[in-house]
C-alpha cells in the first residue's frame, strides 16, 4: 500500500507481552530500517501512534456510507450462494496450503501430547459414528477447499487422527472430496452453516479434541459470533482446544476498502458479495471467556510484507488465539 504513514513507517520489535509472543515463529525482526527490502516479510512490527491514528482515520472514512438494509439482508440470506460463486471462479487456486500451520499451532504437529486424553482403545464407543474409533478428533469449521485439512492429514499419516470439516459452500466441499488424498477412513467433509444451531453434526457432543477456525468467523455476521462459538464449544471435550486465526483490526485488507462496502462496525462486503470482519483481541477474549474457555494465547501478529519489485510495504494484522475448555470440577 503506498501511503505516507503505512508505506514508510516501520518499527523494530513487538509490543506484545512476552507471554503472548509466539513461541516458535516471528523471529525475523527488522532492526535496521534501511534493510527493509532485503526480505519479503518482517515479524512483530510495532505500530506507532501515528499509524494507529491513520488506521482510525481510514476506517472512519470507509465507514461513512452504509450498504442498504435490503442488500445487507441479501448478503446474509444468500451467503452460501456468494461463497459458491467464489469457488466457481477460483476453484482450489485462491487459498494456499497453510504452511505456517504447524509453526503457529505446534499443537497440531503433536496432537497426541497437546490435547485432551482420547478414548481408551479398549473402550467401545456408545454410538457408532464416522471417526468414533479414532484416538483424536479434529473439526475444521469453514474449511474451504481443504488447505488446512490436507496438511494435517499428510503430517499425521496414521489412523489415530480423524478430521471432520464443514463449509457452507457445496462446491468447496465437493472440491475437498475430489482431492486425491480424501479418504473416508480418515476424514468426513460435509456441507453445513455453522451459524445454524439446528445443524446435524456427524459427531456427538463433547467428542472433539480440537476445533479449528481459520479465517472463517470473520466471514459470518457479528450478531451470530457468540451463538456460533457457544454451539461449537458443546462439541469440544473437556480439555479440548479451540484454535483460531483471523483478520485483526486495521489490517491492510480493512484499510483498503473504499466507500460503499461498509455493513456495520468493522464489517464489510467485498465486490463479490462475500463479507469480512476485523477483530480486536479484547472482543475475542470476551467472546471466548463467555463460553467458559480458558485463554492459552491471544496474540496480535503484526507483520510487514514487502513487495521488493515495487518497493511497497504492506502492514498485515492477524489475531491468533488458543482457548481451552476446562475439565469439570469433580
Ligand atoms: C476466507 S474463507 C477461508 C477458508 C479456509 N478456512 C481457509 O483458510 O483456507 C472463509 C470460508 O468460510 C466459509 N463460510 C462462510 N460462512 C460460513 C458459515 N456460515 N458456515 C460454514 N462455513 C462458512 C466460506 O464458504 C469459506 O470457505
Which pLDDT value is given to residue 102?
A: 86
Task: Give yes or no for a contact between 150 and 127, defined as CB atoms under 8 angstroms apart.
Answer: no
Task: Over range 69-85, report the average pLDDT.
Answer: 98
- Tell the residue number behind the cell numbers 499443537, with chain if given: 107
Task: Over range 20-38, report the average pLDDT.
Answer: 63
CB proximity list for 288: less than 8 A, separation 6 or greater: 229, 242, 295, 321, 323
16 located within any domain: no
What separation in Å is there between the alpha carbon of 2 and the centre of ligand 1? 30
Alpha helices in 68-220 (DSSP H): 69-77, 79-90, 101-104, 106-109, 111-114, 149-155, 170-178
Task: Return the ligand 1 atom nearest residue 228 CA.
Answer: 19
Task: Give yes or no for a contact between 15 and 46, defined as CB atoms under 8 angstroms apart.
Answer: yes
Which bin fits 273, alpha (ψ -120 to 50), beta or left (φ > 0)?
A: left
Given pLDDT bands bounded at 50, 70 and 90, which one contains residue 22? very low
DSSP assignment of 49-70 equals HHHHHHHHHHHHHHTSSBPPHH
Residue 300 in this model has a pLDDT that exceeds 90: yes
What separation in Å is there between the alpha carbon of 144 and the centre of ligand 1? 5
Residue 14 in this model has a pLDDT that exceeds 50: no
Q: Express each pLDDT in 137-173 by its tens digit.
A: 999 999 999 999 999 998 887 778 999 999 999 999 9
Task: Over range 286-314, report the average pLDDT.
Answer: 89
What separation in Å is there between the alpha carbon of 77 and the centre of ligand 1? 15
- Tell the residue number behind the cell numbers 446435524, with chain if given: 200
Task: Over range 252-269, report the average pLDDT.
Answer: 96
What separation in Å is there between the alpha carbon of 235 and the centre of ligand 1? 19
Task: Give yes or no for a contact between 245 and 320, defined as CB atoms under 8 angstroms apart.
Answer: yes
Residue 119 in this model has a pLDDT that exceeds 70: no
Residue 10 in this model has a pLDDT that exceeds 60: no
Which pLDDT value is given to residue 118?
A: 46
- Separation of alpha carbons 263 and 66, rounded Å: 6
Task: Return the ligand 1 atom nearest residue 194 CA.
Answer: 20
Task: Return the ligand 1 atom nearest residue 193 CA.
Answer: 20
Task: Give yes or no for a contact between 244 and 237, defined as CB atoms under 8 angstroms apart.
Answer: no
Pairing of strands 187-191, 41-42: unpaired
What separation in Å is there between the alpha carbon of 24 and the centre of ligand 1? 27
Which pLDDT value is given to residue 114?
A: 57
290 located within any domain: yes
Lowest mean per-residue pLDDT among 35-44, 270-279, 299-308: 35-44
Nearest CA residue ID for atom 13, ligand 1: 142
Task: Return the ligand 1 atom nearest residue 147 CA.
Answer: 9
Task: Over range 44-68, report the average pLDDT.
Answer: 90
Task: Over range 80-92, report the average pLDDT.
Answer: 93
Q: Express each pLDDT in 163-197 by its tens digit.
A: 999 999 999 999 999 999 899 999 999 999 999 98
Task: Return the ligand 1 atom nearest residue 276 CA.
Answer: 1
Task: Return the ligand 1 atom nearest residue 214 CA.
Answer: 6
DSSP assignment of 8-43 equals H---SS--S-GGGS-SSS-------GGGGGGSSEES
Expressed as residue numbers, the domain containing 214 is 68-117+129-302+316-324
- Separation of alpha carbons 118 and 233, rounded Å: 17
Read off the DSSP letter of residue 217. Answer: G
For residues 96 and 66, which has the higher predicted lDDT (pLDDT)? 66
Q: Express each pLDDT in 218-258 by its tens digit.
A: 999 999 999 999 999 999 999 999 999 999 999 999 999 99
For residues 28 and 118, which has the higher predicted lDDT (pLDDT)? 28
Residue 51 in this model has a pLDDT that exceeds 50: yes
Number of domains in the chain: 1
Task: Return the ligand 1 atom nearest residue 84 CA.
Answer: 25
Which pLDDT value is given to residue 154?
A: 87
Residue 1 in this model has a pLDDT that exceeds 60: no
- On average, the pLDDT of the chain sits at 85
Helix 79-90 and helix 69-77, axial crossing angle in degrees, nearest 10: 70
What CATH number is given to the structural domain containing 285? 3.40.50.150
Task: Give yes or no for a contact between 48 and 11, defined as CB atoms under 8 angstroms apart.
Answer: yes
Task: Over range 45-73, report the average pLDDT.
Answer: 91
74: which 3 cell numbers? 441479501
CB atoms within 10 A of CB 69: 8
What separation in Å is there between the alpha carbon of 81 and the centre of ligand 1? 12
What separation in Å is there between the alpha carbon of 309 and the centre of ligand 1? 32
Which pLDDT value is given to residue 91?
A: 84
What separation in Å is there between the alpha carbon of 161 and the centre of ligand 1? 23
147: which 3 cell numbers? 488447505
What is the three-class DSSP state of 108? helix
Given pLDDT bands bounded at 50, 70 and 90, which one contains residue 298? very high
Q: Which residues line ligand 1 (CB under 6 A)?
A: 79, 83, 95, 142-144, 147, 166-169, 172, 193-195, 214-216, 219-220
Residue 283 in this model has a pLDDT that exceeds 50: yes
- State which of 89, 141, 142 you would mutate to test the pocket of ligand 1, scoring each by most atoms of that ligand within 8 A of its C-beta: 142
What separation in Å is there between the alpha carbon of 219 and the centre of ligand 1? 6
Task: Over range 198-227, report the average pLDDT.
Answer: 96
Read off the DSSP letter of residue 220. Answer: S
% of residues, the chain, pLDDT over 70: 87
Task: Return the ligand 1 atom nearest residue 220 CA.
Answer: 16
- State which of 83, 105, 232 you would mutate to test the pocket of ligand 1, scoring each by most atoms of that ligand within 8 A of its C-beta: 83
Which pLDDT value is given to residue 306?
A: 81
Amino acid at each position: 500500500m503506498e501511503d505516507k504513514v503505512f508505506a514508510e513507517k516501520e518499527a523494530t520489535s513487538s509490543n506484545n507481552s512476552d507471554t503472548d509472543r509466539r513461541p516458535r515463529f516471528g523471529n525475523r525482526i527488522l532492526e535496521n530500517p534501511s534493510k527493509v527490502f532485503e526480505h519479503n516479510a518482517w515479524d512483530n512490527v510495532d505500530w506507532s501512534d501515528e499509524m494507529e491514528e491513520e488506521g482510525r482515520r481510514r476506517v472512519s472514512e470507509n465507514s461513512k456510507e452504509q450498504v442498504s438494509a435490503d442488500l445487507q439482508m441479501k448478503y446474509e440470506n444468500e451467503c452460501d450462494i456468494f461463497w459458491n460463486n467464489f469457488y466457481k471462479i477460483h476453484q482450489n487456486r485462491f487459498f494456499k496450503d497453510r504452511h505456517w500451520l504447524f509453526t503457529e499451532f505446534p499443537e497440531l504437529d503433536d496432537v497426541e501430547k497437546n490435547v485432551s486424553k482420547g478414548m481408551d482403545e479398549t473402550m467401545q464407543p456408545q454410538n457408532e459414528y464416522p471417526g468414533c474409533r479414532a484416538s483424536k478428533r479434529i473439526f475444521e469449521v469453514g474449511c474451504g477447499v481443504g488447505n488446512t485439512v490436507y496438511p494435517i492429514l499428510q503430517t499425521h499419516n496414521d489412523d489415530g487422527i480423524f478430521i471432520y470439516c464443514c463449509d457452507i459452500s457445496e462446491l468447496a466441499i465437493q472440491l475437498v472430496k475430489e482431492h486425491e488424498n480424501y479418504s473416508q477412513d480418515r476424514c468426513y467433509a460435509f456441507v453445513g452453516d455453522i451459524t445454524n444451531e439446528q445443524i446435524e453434526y456427524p459427531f456427538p457432543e463433547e467428542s472433539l479434541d480440537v476445533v479449528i477456525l481459520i479465517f472463517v468467523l470473520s466471514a459470518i455476521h457479528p450478531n451470530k459470533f457468540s451463538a456460533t462459538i457457544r454451539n461449537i464449544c458443546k462439541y469440544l471435550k473437556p480439555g479440548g482446544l479451540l484454535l483460531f486465526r483471523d483478520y485483526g483490526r486495521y489490517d491492510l485488507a480493512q484499510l483498503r476498502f473504499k466507500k460503499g462496502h461498509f455493513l456495520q462496525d468493522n464489517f464489510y462486503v467485498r465486490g463479490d458479495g462475500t463479507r469480512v470482519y476485523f477483530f480486536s483481541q479484547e472482543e475475542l477474549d470476551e467472546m471466548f471467556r463467555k463460553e467458559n474457555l480458558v485463554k492459552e494465547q491471544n496474540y496480535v501478529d503484526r507483520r510487514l510484507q514487502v513487495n521488493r519489485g515495487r518497493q511497497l510495504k504492506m502492514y498485515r494484522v492477524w489475531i491468533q488465539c488458543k482457548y481451552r475448555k476446562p475439565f469439570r470440577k469433580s
